[in-house]
Amino acid sequence: MVSKLLLLTAALSQLVQGGLIRRESIDHDKVVGFPETVPSGVTGEVYKAYQPLLKVVNGCVPFPAVDAQGNTKLQQWRLLQERRPSLRPGRQSGDKYALMYSWYFPKDQAAPGMGHRHDWEGVIVWISDPATTSADNILAVCPSGHGKWDCSTDGYSLQETHPLIRYYSVWPVNHQCGLTDEAGGSQPLVAYESLPEPAKNALESTDFVKANVPFKEENWAENLGKATF
C-alpha cells in the first residue's frame, strides 16, 4: 500500500493566456479550498480517523500551498484571528504503516526581524493495521521540527483517535510541531492521490527556499527513516 494524503484548502482559480493555462505565484488569500476528498471505504476512514488536531500556539496559521491549476507561493501571512490551513499524510514500511499529515505555513517568524518565508511541518502517525480505526492501533506519533521527527510511543494525547498536536516556538528558535494535551482544530482532508496532476507537479517542483515539502518523492523515504521508535 502506498498512499499520501493532503489536507488542503486550495483554489480553483486559473490564469489563461492564448487559450493555455499558465501556472503562477498567487497571494495566499486568493486560494480557495478543496472540499474534503479521500478514498471511499476503509482507506478513507483510516485517513480521517488518525488526522491530528492542530493547536496553533503562536505565529502563523497554516494556509493552502497550491491550487488545482498548480499556482503556488503564498506571499503573506496572518495571525491567529484568521484560520485557513493545509495538511497531508501516508505510506507503508515493513510490518507497520505510516500516515504523514503535513501543513504549510507562509511564514516562520519567532520574533520581528528573524525567521524566514515558508514553513512545512507535519506529523507521522505509525499504525499497525491499515484497516483498523481504533486508538490502540497507533504505534507512535511523530511531530516534526527543523527537519527531525520526534517519535513518542506513550507520551501523546488523543481525542478519540486523533493525536493532539501543537505548532509553537520557544524564542528565539523557529516554529515546530510538538505534542500537547490541548485539542486544536481540523481541516478538510484531501488525499494526495486525489489531487489534480498540476497541483501534484507544483508541490514536487516549487522551491519553498528554506522549507522542504516533506512528502515530495525526494524527501518521502528519508523522512520516514527519520521517524524511528
- Dump pLDDT digits (tens) for 6-58: 443 322 222 222 222 334 444 545 555 667 878 889 988 999 999 999 998 77
What percent of the chain has pLDDT above 70? Answer: 62
Specify the range with the lowest mean pLDDT, choosing from 18-32, 144-158, 179-193, 201-215. 18-32
Q: Is 209 exposed, middle or buried (0-12, 13-18, 19+ CB in 10 A)?
A: exposed
- Dump pLDDT digits (tens) for 83-122: 333 444 555 566 899 999 988 777 666 656 565 567 788 9
**DSSP notation for 184-200:** -B---EEEGGGS-HHHH
Overall size of the chain counted in residues: 229
Contacts for 1 with CB less than 8 Å, ≥ 6 apart = 91, 92, 97, 130
- Amino acid identity, residue 23? R
Three cell numbers, residue 211: 522549507
- Dump pLDDT digits (tens) for 44-70: 899 999 999 999 877 565 555 444 444
Specify the range with the lowest mean pLDDT, choosing from 26-30, 71-75, 94-98, 158-162. 71-75
Residue span of the structural domain in which 87 resides? 5-226
SS3 22: strand
Q: pLDDT-derived band of residue 226, with 50, 70 and 90 as boundaries? A: very high
**CB neighbours of residue 154 within 10 Å:** 6
pLDDT at site 164: 98
Query: What is the count of structural domains for the chain?
Result: 1
Half-sphere exposure of 219 (CA within 13 A, CB side): 17
C-alpha gyration radius of the chain? 17
Tell me what the pLDDT averaged over the chain comes to. Answer: 72
CB 100 within 8 A of CB 20: no
Select the more confidently predicted residue: 154 or 215.
Answer: 154
What percent of the chain has pLDDT above 90? Answer: 32
Select the more confidently predicted residue: 148 or 216.
Answer: 148
Contacts for 32 with CB less than 8 Å, ≥ 6 apart = 9, 10, 11, 12, 13, 67
CA distance 156 to 214: 22
Select the more confidently predicted residue: 91 or 162.
Answer: 162
pLDDT at site 9: 30
Three cell numbers, residue 79: 495571525
SS3 56: strand
pLDDT at site 85: 36
- 222, containing H or E segment: helix 217-226
pTM listed for this prediction: 0.75
Residue 197 has pLDDT above 80, yes or no: yes
